[in-house]
Amino acid sequence: MKRMIRIALMAVVATCVSVVFYSSGKAQGNQQGLEAAANGLMDAVKAKDATKLKTYYTPDYTFTDPDGKMMTADERLKVLASPDATTVSTFSDIKARIYGTTGVVTGMATSKNSTGGTEQTRFTQVWTWQNGRWLLAASHVSKVK
């Protein structure tokens, strides 16, 4: 009887250890991982690195610009790589939240436009946890007046 109790207890402990290990192994699927992915994307935006940016997008990524125009990933990358594109200098007020396998990141960007003027925009990004990494599924930018 004592042997069966010990075996059952060991099974429970092994299960608990497995759950803790599995959860910690997926640490990048948590808020810290989402924040790291968002920061990596923002660094690529500041650097206008279209090759790196593309690695963050889902295949069906969509972007909605301040005028309401929707773009695919390829269209967005062309705009960002354009010499006339605004240059983001800083990101601020970043907040990340997780809802299961979906993450939402909001914040503000300060940019210089082609005439040298400064403008601010607010953004919302929708991220999804797929195949062990965070990918950006959609984003929207609105001008701050």
* Percent share of the chain, pLDDT over 70: 81
Percent of the chain scored above 90 by pLDDT? 68
Number of domains in the chain: 1
Predicted TM-score (pTM) of this structure: 0.78
Give the pLDDT score at 142. 97
In a domain, 124, yes or no: yes
**Residue 1: inside a domain:** no
The CATH number of residue 122's host domain is 3.10.450.50
Quick check: is 15 in a domain? no
Paired residues of 110 in beta bridges: 90, 120
SS3 content of the chain, % helix, strand, coil (to 5): 40, 40, 20
Does residue 34 lie within any of the structural domains? yes
Q: Could you tell me if 91 and 42 are in contact, meaning their C-beta atoms sit under 8 angstroms apart?
A: yes
Place of tokens 């989402």: 34
Stretch (H or E) spanning 3? helix 2-25
In a domain, 84, yes or no: yes
Residues 125, 139 contacting (CB under 8 angstroms):
yes
H-helix or E-strand spanning residue 134:
strand 133-143
Structural domain for 105, as ranges: 24-143
Domain membership flag for residue 112: yes
| Alpha helices in 26-140, H assignment, sequence order | 31-47, 50-54, 73-81
Decide if 4 is inside a domain: no
pLDDT tens column, 29-58 = 999 999 999 999 999 999 989 999 999 999
- Residue 77, domain member (yes or no): yes
DSSP labels, 6-29: HHHHHHHHHHHHHHHHHHHHTGGG
